[in-house]
Structure 1
């Protein structure tokens, strides 16, 4: 089936015009019905005025359908009772009533107004057809008029239901689109927060280790050049490791980036990498004692190991940065069937540090990490001096 684009364009423009100028379109419909009525029979002056008045309420059939109907009904009865009488077989009065009832059914959401309008229309039809010559003629004409009014009301109800259904579909589509946009924004925000936490942990930890190593190398360069050189090699290796992890994270932010290099596809750190983290921190000059009870459960998954690793990393990094020289730290790891508890305690005498949610981004990131595993984190000074970070994570039996 071929569609004429020019004709389709004309139809679209006409519908847009009708949507913008509804009152004008309704006035045109009333004028068309009036022209049909005058073509049937030419009334006298008084009858012409009544016929014109009968069609005037149709101009507001969309804006005020109920008042327009009652005005039309009253004028229809007046026209019938006027000295100039129309033949009952001429359906012009019923045509106007049909349009008025159709408008009530289509544009008035309260169905009670429609039932009242149909009942009043039936009563008016019975009155206007009372001049029939026989009962058979009267009953047949009344049945025909009732069928016309019922058809108009039914058509209006069907169209109103269809319009309400389409409006609901459009609203649902808009709501789903808004919800989809919101979900996408939330997902983007969550991913950005995750990447920001990872970048903070990587940069803060590795830079802290590098600074500590560089300070140590500067102090020993005159007394032990070989030890200073080895320390700087460690600084270089730490920096390369940090750059590799930074490239991997930044690659996640680029959708058009090529396939990552093999070293960029290295798995995220986990429980097994905590020993290497402790060794790195010890190299930077922090004495760390590790106590471990139990073993991790494989069913916890890699996310659990990454969270534990980052918590230990952040706590030890803060100790390196804030606790001062000569500090000793203790790491306690306790693995349970459905979770774990870890604590990092130091004996540093540095000024008070911030607790989660009151200052540093690292401690706030720790709170966010444990929140994803229905856990808790506490951080604060110890009564006899030093600082403690304690976290509890719940992974579940088959997390």
Structure 2
């Protein structure tokens, strides 16, 4: 797998999981909410039933007072979701007025509904206070209306209903808070995953840009050098000009192959990525021959076996050497020679590229490029620090040491 392929794989893995399921879950919840009746319709059912009950069961002499008290107890429930404490206070006042009048009504259930609403929408202190108020009402009601000698039974039963209403309200509030926290966490995870996907995509673009820079810069530099040689030799030595043109053609085909191989990870129908092996340490000899043909005599020395070096690490070595030799070819005069030394050990690969040419102009006078930064990025992926600069005895050198056990293979 190339460096770009590794990044693309990670980008795809980041995009697959949770966000789609989270969006599906929210869409399903919205669909379920869309099929429900509005809350006001549900809140209107109990007041309507209580009013119908009082109209059909009470005698005409008590009807006006019963209807008025029932309305005072039940109608405030219509606004219980918007102002639970205000509604509870209104229902409690109506219940106290009912107690003062001495009328027993089924609408007293409105107290339990108001207490449930307070528990579902208020904190612990508000719920305890509302429960204490209702419990006081239970005590007053039992003292006034409980049969003689049977106070305890209705008091315990009504106390149990008060506790149940408060507990159900608190449980609903806790459940809502839990679901809200879960939804917030899902949205946060989705945002984080989308951010990771964007970062992976940006990293992937950087990898592809770096790979394309190395491929295009090297091959174009070689082709320019060979073209100049062919133009120079076309009259004096037509055979050498023909050889240079053939090498230009071969270099162009190799460049196309490298580009297809590197970009083939973006297309499932691109066969070149599988048909051609990745360039590595074994291909450095062909690279040195190519540079020699382009006018840069290059000597290659490989010490140690490279069979244990991962393919991605070998690709990094190849690109480092390729970029260093390309810079030498572009920035040094004719007659410059280059030397490449590769040392493979059990846990590291040392890359050392030197040339005999004059030092390049200082950075302030040279146009900015991507060569050295890209080389440093490649070396850093394997825990290496790339050093590039003039040599004491003249010439220019590039040196780094790649650590094979630093995890760079996964991140290169």
2:278 to 268, 284, 294: 268
Partner of 1:282: 292
Aligned-residue Cα RMSD (Å) equals 3.2
Q: Secondary structure at the match of 2:144?
A: coil
The equivalent of 1:75 in structure 2 is 94
Structure 1, unmatched stretches of 5+, are 1-9
How much does 1:383 deviate? 6.4
1:201 maps onto 2:214 in alignment? yes
> 1:375 is paired with a residue of what secondary structure?
coil
* 8 Å contact kept, 2:50–2:70: no
Q: Which runs of 5 or more residues in structure 2 are unaligned?
A: 1-30
1:242/1:359 Cα in 2 relative to 1: closer, same or farther (>3 Å)?
Answer: same
2-structure distance, mates of 1:130, 1:73: 17
* Structure-2 residue corresponding to 1:323: 332
Query: Over residues 336-383 of structure 1, what are the superposed CA-to-partner deviations in whole Å (9 max), with x where a residue is unaligned?
Result: 43212323233433642659xx93123222222223222222334456
User: 1:266: how far off?
Assistant: 1.4
Q: Match for residue 54 of structure 1?
A: 73
Which of 1 and 2 has higher RCO (CA within 8 Å, sep 6+)?
Answer: 2
Distance in 1 (alpha carbons) for counterparts of 2:290 and 2:373: 24
Q: Give a deviation string over 1:255-306, Cα, whole Å, max 9, x none.
A: 4x2x615x852110111111221121111111233454444360x3111111
* Match of residue 368, structure 2, among 356, 359, 362: 359
Cα 1:62/1:192, change in 2 over 3 Å: same
Q: Give the Cα separation in 2 of the matches to 1:11 and 1:139.
A: 45
Inter-CA distance 397–27: structure 2 relative to 1 (3 Å threshold): closer
Give the number of equivalent residue pairs.
374
Does the 8 Å CA contact 1:323/1:346 hold for their aligned counterparts?
no
User: Structure 1 pair 54/381, CA: closer, same or farther in 2 (3 Å)?
Assistant: farther
Distance 1:74 1:347 in 2: 100
Q: 1:188 to 1:133 in 2, by over 3 A?
A: closer
Q: Is the 8 A contact 2:355 2:397 kept in 1?
A: yes
Cα pair distance change 1:72/1:380, threshold 3 Å: farther
The correspondence for 2:102, drawn from 85, 101, 120, is 85
Superposed, 1:301-316 pairs within 5 Å as: 301-316=310-325
Provide the rounded CA distance (Å) in 1 between the counterparts of 2:225 and 2:251.
Answer: 12
Between 1:329-338 and 1:215-224, the stretch displaced more is 329-338
Change (3 A) 1:367 1:28: farther
Q: Which residue of 2 aligns with 1:7?
A: none
TM-score (norm 2): 0.79
SS in 1 for 2:277: coil
Contact 1:107 1:160 (C-alpha < 8 Å) held by counterparts: yes
Distance 1:11 1:266, change over 3 A: closer
TM-score (norm 1): 0.81
User: Which stretch shifts more, 33-42 or 320-329?
Assistant: 33-42
What is the match of residue 28 of structure 2? none
Report deviation, 1:196. Answer: 2.4
Determine which of 96, 118, 121 is the counterpart of 1:104: 118
Maintained 8 Å contact 1:324/1:348: yes
Q: How far apart, in 1, do the equivalents of 2:54 and 2:204 lie?
A: 71
- In the superposition, relative to structure 1, how do residues 354 and 79 fare at CA in structure 2: closer, same or farther (>3 Å)? farther
Q: SS of the counterpart of 2:358?
A: coil
The equivalent of 2:234 in structure 1 is 221
1:377 pairs with 386, 394, 407, which one?
Answer: 386
| Residues 138 and 156 of structure 1: CA distance in aligned 2, closer, same or farther (over 3 Å) | same
Contact 1:292 1:333 in 2 (8 A): yes
Matched with 2:259 is 246
